[in-house]
Amino acid sequence: MYKKVTLFIILLLVCGLAVAAWAMTSHKDYATMKIEDCSSCHESSGVAPNHGPMWTKEHKLYANKKPNNCQDCHQLSYCLDCHDGGGLDANMHSSQSGPDYMPKSHRTDWMAIHPIKAQDDPRSCYRCHDAVKFCASCHGRFPKGSLNIKSHMMLGPNGQRYTFAIGEHSREARRNLASCQACHPEGDVCIQCHSSGKTSPHPRGWDQVSGRLKNASGGRTCLKCHLPGTF
């Protein structure tokens, strides 16, 4: 696997270096221009049209380019107003949650529909929010039993518990484990059963990576379930 990746990277480098040097155009003079008017220069310029209706999802790759053109038109606050709730230059289209501003993607009753929207790539939530420091701190302020979670409803709407005889929770957990973390940041409820040794939570091929995880955390993660010297 490493060999293939290395060869691929070398190939890309060679291809890239073969292309003639080119000075990146500054866009500062055009910062206030409408996006629709950009084509007057860009037409047939070999640059893919961008800043379209799906730009929210697309901009990551452009932002990862170094150096990029973003700062020609946007200050860093523009990024953080969306990623971190700021509202100095708040768009009238943006709603609010407490003092924070929400991106336009968080529409209607976001509290009610975010469990569905989160299924559209669960990882996308964590590009802006920390699962423990944001999600858990918000979930923790709701009365226990008030969050409707399918696997937790087997013992009644306010039970908020599951029984090991029902496999629903394991399927949900494997598909979006970070959502468990959003209410159980330390995994204390998981450990109650999984530390017993009867129900191993580890993935297939665990022996190949367990050593690296153990060394990285200094063994402190392992000690949550295992006795010293037993892992």
CB of 31 to other proteins, least distance (A): 15
Give the span between the Cα atoms of 186 and 224, in whole angstroms. 10
Q: Which is nearer to other proteins, 73 or 178 (CB)?
A: 178
CB of 133 to other proteins, least distance (A): 4
Helix (H, G, I), strand (E, B) or coil at 217: helix
CA-CA distances (angstroms) from residue 89 to 75, 78, 86?
11, 8, 8
Q: Which is nearer to other proteins, 111 or 163 (CB)?
A: 111
CB of 165 to other proteins, least distance (A): 19
Region of 160 (left: φ > 0; alpha: ψ -120 to 50; beta: rest) is: left
Q: Which is nearer to other proteins, 28 or 65 (CB)?
A: 65
* Side-chain-side CA neighbours of residue 154 (13 Å): 11
Q: Which is nearer to other proteins, 75 or 163 (CB)?
A: 75
CB of 151 to other proteins, least distance (A): 9
- Tokens 């297939």: give the residue: 204
Q: Which is nearer to other proteins, 163 or 167 (CB)?
A: 167
Instruction: Transcribe 59-127 into DSSP letters.
Output: HHHHHHSSS-SHHHH--HHHHHHHHS---TT--TT--EETTEE--TTS-SSHHHHHHHHTTS-GGGGGG
Give the span between the Cα atoms of 81 and 79, in whole angstroms. 6
CB of 106 to other proteins, least distance (A): 10
Taking the alpha carbons at both ends of the chain, their separation in whole angstroms is 28
Q: Which is nearer to other proteins, 33 or 80 (CB)?
A: 80
CB of 46 to other proteins, least distance (A): 5
